[in-house]
Amino acid sequence: MKKNTLRWQAGLLSCLILVGCATGNSNSSRRGDAKGMYKVRSGDTLVLIARANNVSYTDIMRWNNLTNPNQIEVGWRLRVKRPVVQASTTIFPAPSSNKGGATTSNSAQNLDPTGTPDIKNAITWRWPVAGAMLARFDGGNSKGVALAGNMNDPVMAAAAGEIVYAGNGLRGYGNMVVINHNDTWSSVYANNATLLVERGTFVNAGQVIARMGNSDASRVQLYYEVRLNAKPIDPLKVMPAR
């Protein structure tokens, strides 16, 4: 009896050693690449991936716009390091205003990439306000859409992400918020009366980030842009039908 007990304990110890070795190896193999990205493999969980990269699994969820920590698929490429914030001079070209009052940009480099008809969109978008559309995207004079509303109406985040700009330092945009949703997508909310968030914080989809106003605009409105790789596209290509 004593001999069987010793044999069982020895076997258990061997298993624990093997498990410990396997865990160590898997941790090192789950680390992100030089760009902070990791490709999900069989047996991965968000907790294991987060532990290997010394971050929280909730951070990985925010950076990748995930809603369920138990739903990841083999082959997905996940950001496992904090996204690098691009310089504002790259994200925001110098704006101007059209006759309709919507903030616009004249930078030719930010035209809608119509050469790519099928846009791969992994984000579930929602409209930041419910007002009617005052001005549409045209890829030239208007790089976004202007939405109607009343002074101090709530402006909500179109998707979860990190606030990378909150201020009024860019002429034509007024009080503006910019959200990075992941390393590909961002959104712009301009002409606000009041900003309710600060740079570096994370927000959830639908969270109130500002109050509608007419800063640097001829009327109360929300000027809204969706950007793909820092270039504005027609928001109607990804936003839900109104």
Q: What is the CATH number of the domain that holds 47?
A: 3.10.350.10
The number of domains in the chain is 2
> Global pTM?
0.57
Q: Are the C-beta atoms of residues 213 and 189 closer than 8 Å to each other? A: no
| High-pLDDT (> 90) share of the chain, % | 43
Q: What is the CATH number of the domain that holds 146?
A: 2.70.70.10
* DSSP secondary structure letters along 57-77: HHHHHHHTT-S-TT---TT-E
More confident residue, 2 or 54: 54
pLDDT at 148: 97
How does the average pLDDT of the chain come out, rounded?
A: 78
Classify residue 131 as exposed, middle or buried by CB count within 10 Å of its CB (0-12, 13-18, 19+): middle
Question: What value does the CA radius of gyration of the chain take, rounded to a whole number of Å?
Answer: 23
pLDDT, position 213 = 97
Domain identity same for 26 and 66? yes
Q: Does some domain include residue 61?
A: yes
One domain for residues 116 and 181: yes
Top-confidence residue, 92 or 18: 92
- Of 25, 52, 79, the last residue of a domain is 79
pLDDT above 50: residue 217: yes
* Residue 84's pLDDT band (cuts 50, 70, 90): low
3-state class (DSSP) for residue 151: coil
Residue 71: predicted pLDDT: 80
As a whole number of angstroms, the distance between CA 187 and CA 90 comes to 14
Is residue 32 domain-resident?
yes
Average pLDDT over residues 24-37: 75
Q: Which DSSP category does 235 fall into?
A: G
Query: Mind listing the pLDDT tens digit for each residue in 106-144?
Result: 333 333 343 444 577 889 999 999 999 999 998 877 899
The Cα angle at residue 30 between residues 39 and 17, in degrees rounded to 5: 145
C-alpha to C-alpha distance for 169 and 176, rounded to whole angstroms? 9
- pLDDT of 12 higher than 50: no
pLDDT in the model for residue 72:
83
The residue with greater pLDDT, 65 or 161, is 161
Residue 131, in any domain of the structure: yes
As a whole-number percent, the residues of the chain with pLDDT over 70 amount to 74
Domain containing residue 20 = 2-79
Question: Does the residue 216 lie in any domain?
Answer: yes
Whether the predicted pLDDT of 94 surpasses 70: no
